[in-house]
Amino acid sequence: MAGSPTAHPRIGVLALQGDFREHIASLTGLGADVVPLRRPEEIASLDGVVVPGGESSVMDKLSRAFGVAEPLAEAIRGGLPTYGTCAGMIMLSSRIAAGIPGQQTLDVLDTTVRRNAFGSQNDSFEIDIPMPELGDAPVHAVFIRAPVVEEHGPGVEVLGALPDGQVVAVQQGNVIASAFHPEVAGEDRFHRRFLDLVHSA
């Protein structure tokens, strides 16, 4: 497991909608230089990017309206380390099940992700999930109107799954995604893993 980052990488958190403030606080606490990302010209100066939780269809529309979606997708395909949570996982995925008509994604993660896989906000839940890749202690995962990975390509590593086998955390190269919210639970190991990617990029 990684130690605290020593440098101060510049991380952008997509700040068009959703819980971007929590990610900014988590990453700032780990020593990163964190900025809200809202305009396409800001992408070039970033060492990594986080796509937060929120409403994926709204985030999709706003990212296109602000002209961020396409250059961000190009940067991620070019190697920009990226972490997406909940709606961010949907945004990064190549395919959506139960998306709204016309909903698009950044198409940078070889997964099929189902929106609202566990039902409404009232069906939110918390669970401890063993994730050996992140250390011996289980990860306390908070699910809020969360998606689930229904299918994934051979290049996608499963980091975590529920007891019934449903995949809820993955990594493919420079892209990490979780269906749950570590930034809400005070769980910093996903952000540390992301920053490790940034430092080794």
The residue segments making up the domain with residue 195 are: 10-199
- φ/ψ of 35, rounded to 5, equals -130, 145
At 2, the pLDDT band (50, 70, 90 cuts) reads very low
Report pLDDT digits (tens) over 102-144: 999 999 999 999 998 887 666 689 999 999 999 999 999 999 9
pTM of the model: 0.93
Compute the C-alpha angle 147/152/158, nearest 5°.
Answer: 80
136 domain residue, yes or no = yes
Domain-located, residue 93: yes
CA 153 to chain CA mean position, Å? 18
Distance CA 103, CA 69 (A): 13
Q: Which residue has the tokens 């566990």?
A: 118
Task: Determine, yes or no, domain membership for 5.
Answer: no
pLDDT at res. 179: 97
DSSP characters for 103-142? ------EEEEEETTTT-SGGG-EEEEE--GGG-SSPEEEE
Question: According to the annotation, is 54 in a ligand binding site?
Answer: yes
Crossing angle between the packed helical segments 189-200 and 20-29, to the nearest 10 degrees: 70
Give the residues across from 84 on adjacent strands.
51, 177
Q: Tell me, what's the pLDDT at 151?
A: 97
| Total tally of structural domains belonging to the chain | 1
| Least confident interval from 40-44, 116-120, 143-147, 152-156 | 116-120
Is 114 annotated as belonging to a binding site?
Answer: no
CATH number at residue 79: 3.40.50.880
Residue 118: the pLDDT is: 85
What is the C-alpha to C-alpha distance for residues 161 and 127, in angstroms, rounded to an integer? 11
In a domain, residue 137? The reply is yes
Q: Is 145 annotated as a binding residue?
A: yes
Asked if residue 41 belongs to a domain, the reply is yes
**What is the rounded CA–CA span in Å between residue 185 and residue 188?**
9
Residues designated as active site: 86, 181, 183
Per-residue model confidence (pLDDT) at position 123: 67
